[in-house]
Amino acid sequence: MRETGFYWDERCFWHGGGNFAFTQPIGGLVQPLAAGGLAENPETKRRLKNLMDVTGITSDLLMQSSEPAKMLDLLRVHTKDYLEEFKALSEVDGGLLGLRTPFARDGFDIASLSSGLAMSAIKDVLKGKHKNSYSLSRPPGHHCLPDYPNGFCLLANIAIAIESAISENLAKKFCVIDWDVHHGNGTEAIFYDRPDVLTISVHQERNYPVDTGQETDRGKGKGINHNINLPLPAGSGHDTYLDLFDRVISPLVNNYRPDIIIVACGFDAAMIDPTSSMLCSAETFRILTRKAQILADKNCNSRLSLIHEGGYSEVYVPFCGHAVLEELSGSAKIAPDPYEELFKLRQPGDRFQNMANELINDWEKLFLD
């Protein structure tokens, strides 16, 4: 027990998004929400930590914070101009950069801390401090481009952590499996021409961003065939996700043999989420985590790190996250899913599963032949 490192910091819950109602700025005919703010709000993460404390699973994890990422760390991924503008606005009253990425005062410092948590989670696994790890990073990172924040993401947490690990010669080959329901366009763009990072994104087709994530986008130059997009149709559920992992993702990772597997761990493919139309459950994420750990055991001396991304249901994210942590740590302190029976009733029928099976057949031929 206590082989799993858990990285979090109360300050990450203090990141604010300003005067928005879900994803739209308040004004005109858009009324303020009672609670206010973006869909990406602190409660999903805070309620996960609260649930962990109530069940007692925190006692089975190595709980810790981290130092914020330094400017040198950020500059390995992001442009100087972008970072300076972000920092300057943050030191006054915050502002809005890019698309759907407003932030309050001190936003730069909190985003740097979020990246620092991801850096420590990944590097401590590579150093052998933990078998596996989970970083409750906030704000998230997988949409952020080098010079353009996007989709609630202000710094590219996973990419920053990978570049830091490379700078310390901790690993040479990385695999990022992104099961957030939205395409990991930032991670893709940063590593698109590189063979040392295999990026695999499973997402709802044309959800967000609407113009990225096509299966034909497979990298360029030396990075050809090292970028894999798996855009699933709306309505995909438990069986489709698990079949896709077994039949496409696992063979790709086995062929690549990375030094570490990093999961961009979003919980927004769950049925109870306001930003998607998928039908996954806490059990889906538990089994996906089990499969990822098996891959890590086989290919990279068990090295596995999960970095929190999206998930916007205050009600359900805590149970999805808890299921993942139960699986990672082997803890017997469980949080039963209160929606389990509802999910069983609402899974796709045979007609949809047949269609999904044909799609996975096509991807086996495209990516594995």
Residues catalogued as catalytic? 143
Query: Phi and psi of 256, rounded to 5°?
Result: -80, -35
Long-range contacts of range 196-200, CB-CB < 8 Å, 24 or more positions apart?
Answer: 196/166, 196/172, 197/162, 197/173, 197/226, 198/173, 198/174, 198/226, 198/228, 198/252, 198/253, 198/256, 198/258, 199/226, 199/227, 199/228, 200/175, 200/176, 200/228, 200/230, 200/249, 200/252, 200/253
Distance CA 348, CA 271 (A): 12
Distance CA 220, CA 99 (A): 26
Please name the residues in contact with 236: beta carbons below 8 A apart, sequence gap of 6 or more. Answer: 204, 269, 278, 279, 280, 348, 352, 356
CA-based nearest residue to 228, from 186, 265, 178: 178
Q: What is the DSSP letter of 122?
A: H
Distance CA 64, CA 28 (A): 44
Contact (Cβ atoms closer than 8 angstroms) between residue 23 and residue 118: no
CA-based nearest residue to 181, from 208, 221, 154: 208
